[in-house]
Amino acid sequence: MPIGFHAAWDWGETYFYGVPNSGYPAKRHLLNPMFSGPDWITGGSAGPEGSWLCIALLVGLWIIFSLWLGENKYPNPNAMASREKHLVVTTG
């Protein structure tokens, strides 16, 4: 999930919105935005991921996913315990 989230984020940021990704602008992009406002909101030359709003978004998503997963953590300790019961150790 984190790899897919990162790929979607970079694609949206670079191609779809046409903003710099980690300070590197794309040669081809779909939209042509113009930033206005202070760097702490727009991210300046680093792009939106350099803004404080992006940090707030990522912290918010982290909290949401933490609450959503709840008890469904990986690896599931109960599944690991039942797997260990059924393992057969052989020596060769």
One DSSP character per residue, 4-69 reads HHHHHHHHIIIIIS---BTTB--SS-S------S-HHHH-GGG-GGGSHHHHHHHHHHHHHHHHHH
In whole angstroms, give the CA distance from residue 92 to residue 87. 16
> pLDDT tens across 11-59, in order?
998 999 888 888 888 888 898 888 888 988 888 888 888 899 989 998 9
Q: pTM for the complete prediction?
A: 0.54
Q: What is residue 3's predicted lDDT score, i.e. its pLDDT?
A: 93
Q: What is residue 4's predicted lDDT score, i.e. its pLDDT?
A: 93
46 contacts: CB under 8 Å, gap ≥ 6: 20, 22, 23
